[in-house]
Structure 1
Amino acid sequence: MKNTRIPVGSGIGGLVLCLFSPWVSADEKFADDVAFMKEHTQIVLLHDGDAAVAVAPAYQGRVMTSTFDRKAGPSFGWINRPVIEKGFLSEEDKKGKLEEHIYIFGGEERFWLGPEGGQYALFFRPGTKFEFSDWATPAAIDTEAFELVEQTETSAKFKHTTDLINYSGAEFNVGIERTVKLLPPQEASKLLGVELSDGLRMVGYETDNRITNTGSDAWKPETGLLSIWMLGMYNPSPETTVVIPFEEGDDKTLGPRVNDTYFGKVPAEYLQVKKQKLFFKGDGTRRGKIGINPQRSQGIAGSYDAAGQVLNIVTYNLQDAPHGFVNSMWELQDEPYAGDVINSYNDGSPEPGKAPLGPFYELETSSPASALKPGETMKHVQRTFHIQGSEEELNPLARRLLGAHLDDIKDAF
């Protein structure tokens, strides 16, 4: 893999009908979301000065939302209030029974495991079809709580154990560790390799995610491998555009610039692919997904909310991938380890006559495929930054981090 140009380092439900407007009001507040969630589930609130992150142990230690001002600031995560309010349907559900396909609680960074589709899929049981009606999220990353084992004002550590079976019938005994940590502005600036002026407001956090083979047998490519998969649900809007820079080069050497056929080819009015970057709508009006392979990846993805003047940045730890990356395409695959490392998803109706899952849009990153011997561990670190300010202050950051001028982002569609 090529080195990223950003010094991130390597150490480190059933379907829910949309009851409201597809787009969240700009005056949604972090404090309101936290107060609502606390009525229905435990929330661990991490804070450093005004910046804060709300984490839910019952929802796999996911970051539900964050803000740069915990008293009066915006809420950056998409929160599905009807599902949170309803909660699990019964005590049996808490033991792993699924609400049809998934409990869509929302949350701007959640822990998942891949692959989703293919002969080694975790989201399709043996003998099922690669269709939405047979798709189901494993309980370990949907309904099972993670145990909170350590906590400070700025960090929280979670653990969990689970047993999984893939589409081909292979079994996995998995230990999970996840640590969420707030990043102070000075550290965020250093990690991003940019200067953050005093006029900018920001919240940044890092999650250290690990899986361990707790069984007695090695995980082998010929029976399927797992990956750590991080997904962030964000509030969609007509003025939100995803931006992903990628390495320039010949398709025969680096592969295609983008995989845009996960759920059918994404039309030009939702996806624009340039020489070294792409623009993808984050408006929550049409279901579509795109991916960047590890040869093309620069270790970074982002989006810009022009209405809120917020630049959202996601980075991950680049590491060797001797066994490739798992392929999550919904089909029997010729190359099950030729998957993508960065994805973005725009929500919409999954089938004719079906309501959208949210709507929301997502930024996602994945670890390499993990061929782990008993007792071995794979680690994947993701960092998320929300930076708000004037376009004059944000434009140099967008150009440095994403290779795109704000005017080009706003005029992409």
Structure 2
Amino acid sequence: MLYQAYQLQSDLMSPLRLMAQSLGASLWFKDTENSPVRKIAAACDVFSRLRLTHSRPGYGITSVKVGQVDVDVTEEVTLTLPFGSLLHFKRTADAVDIEGQPPVLLVAPLSGHFATLLRETLRTLLQDHDVYITDWHNARDVPLTEGGFALDDYAEHMIRFIETIGPGTHVVAVCQPCVAALAAAAIMAEDDNPCQPRSLTLMAGPVDCRINPTGVNTLAVSKPIEWFEKNLITHVPLPHKGFMRRVYPGFIQLSAFLSMNPARHKAQFKDMYKYLLEGDIEKADTIRNFYDEYLAVNDLPAEFYLETVAKVFQTYDLPRGVLTYKDRIVNPAAIRRTALMTVEGERDDICSVGQTMAAQDLASSVRPSQRTHHIQTGVGHYGVFSGKKWNQQIYPRVRDMIYANQL
């Protein structure tokens, strides 16, 4: 009944938000500075933004600077599977040589938001690489006839994507998919797959959550897995294509995120109202754009969510050597030809220092010359893959590692 109640509330509020949006837009044309009209228009604008959406926002990347040249970028779907697509951001240029730049698969989390959260990471990588991204679908839009989607399926999708890109692919995994990325690389190595990654970069991911547990880790072990299934899993209601599919709704995860710092989010909307009153549209748009992305939620398949909580956060299957892929034990020591880089943030309160670096011990057969670890000072979780320090200090190291292992 949880999802049905949410859907009913959303349906009831939708006409009010549409009215506020329409009224606000019309009032701006009659606005004078500091007038009551502007106050009403600003209030309508803020109110219309206080809603969740369930469709992926656009990436909005139409060009990227390569060296000093602006290069056109076209978004292409290379492979479509029921629960995710492989997107290629194809660059075309005459004035600069981009041929031969290494292909990179950017693996996005499937964790309540869409892959567009990695827009900045993607844009930065496009400067020097031929970039693809895992674009995970909203589970509430996947019909039941497509079957389930568990941790095995996630790794299998990753292998399919890498094989589609072809030999010489480099993989960059951010946060949650680090476990599945390491597992996929291990399986491909054990099978002597010709498309096994040339390099694997794991960024701020929960490889071994026994190390320096965070509040997120403590919460995950505070209840048995049955509690998560009973209290957080629900069925998709009508009229969605995934009617009756069991999911962990994105709105529940977002509610948890918002509750961690409600004062900050409240202050942000107050600031947006203030900037609209002052006519500072640029600052207001910065907040608008952030929340348009942040409030776009993605439902997770129940099987995937529950297995991730159980195997990654509760029983630590990968570091204990008992994680399986289609009834095969995952053996990271099988990785020999894939260079490994791990990146962590000094102030990360989601995946603390040491949790990602654990991959270095697990992949024990990787030669020392092909290992890299970097701890970035002064950044939290999101600062590992976005922001000034990502662009200026972390990315150059990732780029140099990829190019060093290109041949």
TM over 0.5: no
* TM-score when normalising by structure 2: 0.27
Considering fraction of residues, name the structure with more helix: 2
Choose between structure 1 and 2: higher strand proportion. Answer: 1
